[in-house]
Amino acid sequence: GAGVSQSPRYKVAKRGQDVALRCDPISGHVSLFWYQQALGQGPEFLTYFQNEAQLDKSGLPSDRFFAERPEGSVSTLKIQRTQQEDSAVYLCASSATSGAGDEQFFGPGTRLTVL
């Protein structure tokens, strides 16, 4: 595709529900990042993949958060037993090179609201 796509664009979940957020990066991009952006804040790093390998997950806030990229392209961020504090926009970004020092291309984000 022409850019990074994410689905769903909006998700409303009841507290305690599990959710899965999908990211389709730009074809051929090596690096994939997940960020969490709260209202009025900048994006906060969650996790990083280089191809299918999850090289950094230090930003995941709890063990309820899990991400995968099994074939080195599409990635899924899963949140188990959602809590109200999980409400945020979840941004996915991809980059043509490895590492975080080059331009990242962001998807439109998934706005998660936990009731």
Partner 1 sequence: RKEVEQDPGPFNVPEGATVAFNCTYSNSASQSFFWYRQDCRKEPKLLMSVYSSGNEDGRFTAQLNRASQYISLLIRDSKLSDSATYLCVVYSGGGADGLTFGKGTHLIIQP
Judged by the rule CB under 8 A, the positions of this chain that interact with partner 1 are: 31, 33, 35, 40-45, 47-48, 55-56, 58-59, 91, 99-101, 103-104, 106-109
DSSP string of 13-61?
E-TT--EEEEEE--TT--EEEEEEE-TTS--EEEEEEETTEEEE-TT--
- Dist CA 18 CA 64 (whole Å): 9
Q: In the complex with partner 1, which residue's Cβ is closer, 9 or 81?
A: 9
Q: Which residue number, 14 or 39, has a Cβ lying nearer to partner 1?
A: 39
* Least distance from partner 1 to the Cβ atom of residue 16, Å: 27
Q: How far is the CB of 6 from partner 1 (least distance, A)?
A: 9
Please report how close the Cβ of residue 110 comes to partner 1 at its closest, in angstroms. 11
The rounded distance, in Å, linking the Cα atoms of 108 and 110 is: 7
